[in-house]
Chain A
Amino acid sequence: MMAPLIQTRALAKSYRGNLAVNAVDFDIAEGEVHALLGENGAGKSTLTKMIAGVVEPTSGELLLDGAPVRYDGPADALKRGIAMVFQETSLVPSMTVAQNLYLGEEKAFNRLRGVAIAAQQFLQSLNFTVDPTALVATLGAAKRQMVEIARAVRLKARVIIFDEPTATLTPEEKRHFFALIRRLKERKVSVIFISHAIEEALQISDRITVMRDGEKVITDVTANFTRESIVQAMVGRSVGGGTTGRKSAVREAGEKVLSVQDLSMGAIVKNTSFSVYAGQITGLFGLVGSGRTETAKVIAGVMKRDFNRGGEVRLDGKPVRYNTPRPAVQDGIVYVTEDRKVEGFFETMSIAENLYSSLLSVGAERLPIVSRSEMARLAESWSKTLAIRAINPDARVIELSGGNQQKVVIGKGLIQKPRLVIFDEPTRGVDVAAIAEIHHLIEKLADEGLAVMVISSYLPEILKLSDRILVCRQGRVVEEFTPTDATEKKIMYAAVH
């Protein structure tokens, strides 16, 4: 193998003290296709973003052609030949393909036709079948990706990084995409390919690196891997601390609270069916993009299912259809969001005001008058129940730690006296101590007889909490496990297969 084009030495990145990438040594040679595998949150994206200059490393060294470099930003990295193609493409939808290809290089008097002709020739030289005069907005995901790649090639990129390129592609488009990668390889362009689709990596790459919890587990030639050994490397983590571990006893299912039949929403949720029972925690595992969050949001009325053939949602046996979240909340369905900042709490307000919003919102027959003393009492009792710790009780929620913020959001939901609580990634961005507390709280809710659903892409969390485990893939629940027969390997296999 040739000398590496890019090499990282103990490259690390931490966000607010949390290590996202921990001392990773990684390298890629010229004309190599290198697959980067790992679960959500393994640090793949962060590592490549550092390589592409999007994110600045906290420590460690990045070598380009053997010499250490520090970028001034992604534009600088691009100038040195490193391009990154993001999950959401960065093209301008209202412009044509040709305009997008030459974005930022327009002359003062730009001749559209001239640009289109140049683009046509260039695309042909790459063997890309994209119409340069088409608007980007009208293109499918695969063609958009072609345009992105063409732009990267045109800018003489020597390394192109793809972040989950195949997640949105159809099988047909995937074949095109792989052919394209082979062509890039022939042109001596190196490719870093981030994915959690194991088969694809085995099929297309020369070497594979597996990451887990921010660290590199293994790098080897693809031929030395099997699907099993990759899964093993992806999930085989050390079990420790209070946040993981097996549950001791499985709760019996109570009455069926929620039953979902053939639920569909757009291209994201497809014909999914499952049930949730009282007094039990139903875990829903799936990778990002598998439609878990959307399924939950449809049930809670945040999103609307398809009008035709949208399937059926039954609450206590009665069919329900919510167009807004309000009636769902009134019926006792509470959805605790995965993105608390965007749709969870009121950032400029205090803990008390946030909790009190629930009391004003739904339920309790009460005068429409705000009572400061009631608000203070509510805040005090719930802060105690949930162990919310704030140095200053008047602090704005945005100033609290992630764990305390999450507890406020959970408290907001519980005050509404739900019968069914759906926790979406309940411990994302939460410190370890608070994770244990939140887990304990979720278990207590189930013990008290609530129907609880936990959505997570963190396997140990699912295994620790769930009395039943559902696995979601491509918009539907594909498999169900009992805690006794579930293993990380089996679940991961079901989720990626």
Chain B
Amino acid sequence: MKSVFRQGMLTQERIVLVFALVLFALYAVFLKGFLAPNNLVAILRSIAVLGILSVGMGIVVIGRGIDLSMVAVMAMATAWQLTMMNSGTPALTATAITFGFVVLVGVANGVLIAYADVPAVFATLASGNFVFGLIRSRFIVQDAVPVPQDATLLMDFGQARLVGMPIEVIMFAAAALFAFLGLRYSKYGRYVYYQGDNYQAARSMGLPVRPVVILQYVLSALVAWLAGLVTAAGLQSINTRVVNSTLLYDVILVVVIGGIGLSGGKGGMRNVVVGALLIGIMLNGMTILDLPNIYQNLIKASILLVALIIDSRLNPRDEQVGQQGDI
């Protein structure tokens, strides 16, 4: 099976793309209203936040990490910022404080992982819970925080459209484009790939591996905050209950299904976009079909499992084949 995949035609990305197109065609034929322009825009809009988060997660996963604190940072940083603005802090000050906080969370994640050698899963799980607990208990008073009425910039931003596209979609496209350019054409982007492929080799040859790990997590935290702002602008408020939703798993679903191997060093932003499209089309169709939430979860879970199995077959971790052995 492996050889078939390696021969080029059957990359995971292409399978997913074909799958998405087939699904799209089926929905288009059998679902009334699916092809309506408004619905197509709605699909894009519904995957925008998910997509933005996946851009950040994608960067981290390429560097052989994972960031489970993203949704917490997204919701809590934005909620805190809005709360400050609601209670009269100037918008610029509130934004600056939030920016500092978000960067701090990213740095803390990176330091825990790169310098204290805590596995990424645990470090970010803990920091996500910490961020949620800290801000929910100290800085905000209710679950949902509205955008203040005088924050016209954010309000207008939420209603803005560019070439007929909602601003969320534009932001997703911009984030993906920036990440694409950075990963492909900047030397720091290449560092992420090198250390994701082989951390030991990257370290031995003198790449600044630990600063790059920190950079990854700062980026993913900032991207998460951007996703929060986009959400708030679109919905006029941010609901911190999203931290306990399945959004985080959807993000991982997008990244893995798109074909960014969890073993690191592989894939790129194209995979994120393809993965997000597939999930968006699938979820939209299920919503039009009025499938109960439980079944939607069942289907998502099955797809994630299949994607993980394919991922571990295509990108086996710690490939020990071909090892010389002690002769």
A341 to B: closest C-beta gap in Å:
7
Chain B contacts of A413 at CB under 8 A? 205
CB distance from A388 to the nearest CB of B (A): 17
Which residues of chain A come closer than 8 Å to B324, judged between CB atoms?
15, 428-429
> Quick check: is A360 within 8 A (CB to CB) of the other chain?
yes
**Residues from chain A with Cβ under 8 Å of B326 in the complex:** 45-46
Q: Which of A15, A370, A416 contacts B325 (CB 8 A)?
A: A15
Known: A368-B187, A370-B187. A358 touches B327 (CB 8 A): no
- Is there contact, CB below 8 Å, between A361 and B189? no
Considering the complex, give the chain B residue whose CB is closest to the CB of A345: B201
**Contact at A344–B201, with CB atoms within 8 Å?**
yes
Judge if B186 is at the interface, Cβ distance under 8 Å: yes
CB pairs A–B below 8 angstroms (12 shown): A45-B326, A45-B327, A326-B207, A329-B206, A342-B198, A343-B198, A348-B197, A360-B190, A361-B205, A361-B207, A416-B205, A416-B206
B185 proximity list for chain A (CB < 8 A): 369-370
Q: Does B323 contact A (CB under 8 A)?
A: yes
Q: Given the complex, which residues of A lie within 8 Å of B327, measured CB to CB?
A: 15, 18, 20, 41, 43, 45-46, 214
Residues in A with CB closer than 8 Å to B189 are 370
Q: Does B204 lie within 8 Å of A346, measured CB to CB?
A: no
CB of B225 within 8 A of chain A?
no
B204 close to A302 (CB less than 8 A): yes
**Using a CB–CB distance below 8 Å, which chain B residues touch chain A?**
184-191, 193-194, 197-198, 200-208, 210, 265-266, 319, 322-327
A324 and B203 within 8 A (CB): yes
B205 partner residues in chain A, CB cutoff 8 A: 325, 329, 357-358, 361-362, 412-413, 416
> Given A347-B197, A370-B185, are A335 and B322 neighbors across the interface (CB < 8 Å)?
no
Bound CA–CA A475/B189 (angstroms): 40
Closest to B265 in A: A348
Chain B residue with the shortest CB-CB distance to A55 = B325
Residues of A within 8 A of B208 (CB): 326
Number of residues from A at the complex interface, CB < 8 A:
42
Q: How far is the CA of A428 from the CA of B327 in the complex (A)?
A: 11
The answer to the question of A137 belonging to the interface, with a C-beta cut-off of 8 Å to chain B, is no
CB pair B186–A369 under 8 Å, yes or no, is yes
- B206, A328: Cβ atoms closer than 8 Å: yes
Q: How far is the CA of A139 from the CA of B227 in the complex (A)?
A: 53
Assembly CA distance A46 to B324 (angstroms)? 12
Shortest CB–CB separation between residue A162 and chain B, in angstroms?
15
What 15 additional pairs, Cβ within 8 angstroms, besides A15-B324, A328-B206? A300-B204, A326-B208, A335-B204, A341-B322, A343-B198, A343-B200, A345-B198, A347-B198, A349-B197, A356-B190, A360-B207, A368-B186, A370-B189, A370-B190, A416-B206
Q: In the assembled complex, which residues on chain A have CB atoms less than 8 Å from the CB atom of B194?
A: 346, 357
In Å, the complex CA distance between A62 and B220 comes to 58
A89 at the interface (CB under 8 A from B): no
CA distance A229 to B324 in the complex (A): 31
Question: How many A-B contacts if CB must be within 8 Å?
Answer: 96
Residues in chain A near residue B319, CB distance under 8 A: 347, 398
Closest to A346 in B: B197
A15, A347, A348, A356, most chain B CB atoms within 10 A: A348
A274–chain B nearest beta-carbon distance, Å: 22
B216 to chain A, nearest CB (A): 16
By a CB distance below 8 angstroms, the chain A residues around B190 are: 356-357, 360, 370
A362 to B206 alpha-carbon distance, docked (Å): 7
The interface residues of chain B lying within 8 Å CB-to-CB of A15 are 324-325, 327
**Is A337 an interface residue when CB atoms closer than 8 A count as contact?**
yes
Q: In the complex, A300 Cα to B326 Cα: how many Å?
A: 25
Given that A20-B327, A341-B322, A369-B186 are contacting pairs, would A348 and B266 also be in contact in the complex, using a CB cutoff of 8 Å? yes
The distance from the CB of B123 to the nearest CB of chain A, in whole angstroms, is 20
Query: Shortest beta-carbon distance, A116 to chain B, in Å?
Result: 34
A345–B185 alpha-carbon span in the complex (Å): 21
Query: Which of B204, B265, B323 touches A341 (beta carbons < 8 Å)?
Result: B323
CA distance A300 to B205 in the complex (A): 10
CA–CA, A420 and B223, complex, Å? 43
The answer on a CB contact under 8 Å between B187 and A342 is no
Residue of A335, A358, A370 most packed against chain B (CB within 10 A): A370
A interface residue numbers (CB < 8 A to B): 15, 18, 20, 41, 43, 45-46, 214, 300, 302, 324-326, 328-330, 335, 337, 341-349, 356-358, 360-362, 368-370, 398, 412-413, 416, 428-429
Q: How far apart are the CA atoms of A251 and B186 in the complex, in Å? A: 44
Q: How far is it, in angstroms, between the C-alpha of A46 and the C-alpha of B325 when the chains are bound?
A: 9
- Taking a contact as CB atoms closer than 8 A, the residue among B184, B187, B197, B201 that contacts A360 in the complex is B187
How many angstroms from the CA of A357 to the CA of B190 in the assembled complex?
8
Residues of A within 8 A of B186 (CB): 368-370
Q: Would B322 and A302 count as touching, CB distance under 8 A?
A: no
A89-B190 Cα distance, complex, nearest whole Å: 40
| Chain A residues with CB below 8 A from B210, complex form | 324
3 cross-chain pairs, A with B, having the tightest CB-CB distances, nearest first? A329-B206, A343-B200, A346-B197
B198, B203, B208, B322 interface centre (most CB from chain A within 10 Å)? B198
Q: How far is it, in angstroms, between the C-alpha of A324 and the C-alpha of B197 when the chains are bound? A: 19
A45, A337, A349, A428: which contacts B204 (Cβ < 8 A)? Answer: A337
Contact of A302 among B187, B197, B203, B266 (CB under 8 A): B203
Q: How far is the CB of A140 from chain B (nearest CB, A)?
A: 24
Residues of A within 8 A of B323 (CB): 341
Nearest-Cβ distance from residue B165 to partner chain A, whole angstroms:
30
Q: Are B206 and A346 in contact (CB under 8 A)?
A: no
Q: In the complex, A378 Cα to B186 Cα: how many Å?
A: 18
List chain A residues, Cβ under 8 A from B197. Answer: 346-349
Smallest beta-carbon distance A46→chain B, Å: 6
B184 lies within 8 A of A370 (CB): yes
Contacts of A429 in B (CB 8 A): 324
- Contact of A342 with B325 in the complex, beta carbons under 8 Å: no
> Considering the chains assembled together, what is the distance between the CA atoms of A143 and B184 in angstroms?
54
Contacts of B207 in A (CB 8 A): 326, 357, 360-361
Residues of the A chain whose Cβ atoms lie less than 8 Å from the Cβ of B184: 370
Query: Closest approach, in angstroms, between the C-beta of B327 and any C-beta of chain A?
Result: 4
Chain A min CB distance to B57 (Å): 20
Q: What are the residues of chain A within 8 A of B191 when measuring CB–CB?
A: 360
Q: Which of A325, A328, A335, A346 contacts B265 (CB 8 A)?
A: A346
With a CB–CB cut-off of 8 A, which chain B residues contact A324?
Answer: 203, 210
- Counting chain B CB atoms within 10 Å of each CB, the highest count among A324, A329, A358, A416 belongs to A324
CB distance from B263 to the nearest CB of A (A): 9
A345 vs B201: C-alpha distance when bound (angstroms):
6
Chain A residues whose C-beta falls within 8 Å of the C-beta of B193 in the assembled complex: 346, 349
Closest B-chain residue to A363, C-beta based?
B206
A218–B205 alpha-carbon span in the complex (Å)? 44
- CB proximity of A234 to chain B, nearest CB, Å: 16
Nearest A residue to B207, CB-CB: A361
- For the complex, give the distance between the alpha carbons of A349 and B207 in Å: 16
Q: Are A343 and B187 in contact (CB under 8 A)?
A: no
Q: Please indicate the chain B residues that have their CB under 8 angstroms from the CB of A45 in the complex.
A: 326-327
The CA of A255 and the CA of B200, in the complex, are separated in Å by: 32
Shortest distance from the beta carbon of A335 to any chain B beta carbon, whole Å: 7
**Chain A residue contacts of B206, Cβ below 8 A:** 325-326, 328-330, 361-362, 416
Minimum CB–CB distance for A313 against chain B, Å: 17
B residues near A328, Cβ cutoff 8 Å? 206
How far in angstroms is the closest Cβ of chain A from B8?
11
B135 to chain A, nearest CB (A): 35
Q: Is the CB of B201 within 8 A of A346?
A: yes
Across-interface contacts of A214 in B (CB, < 8 A) = 327
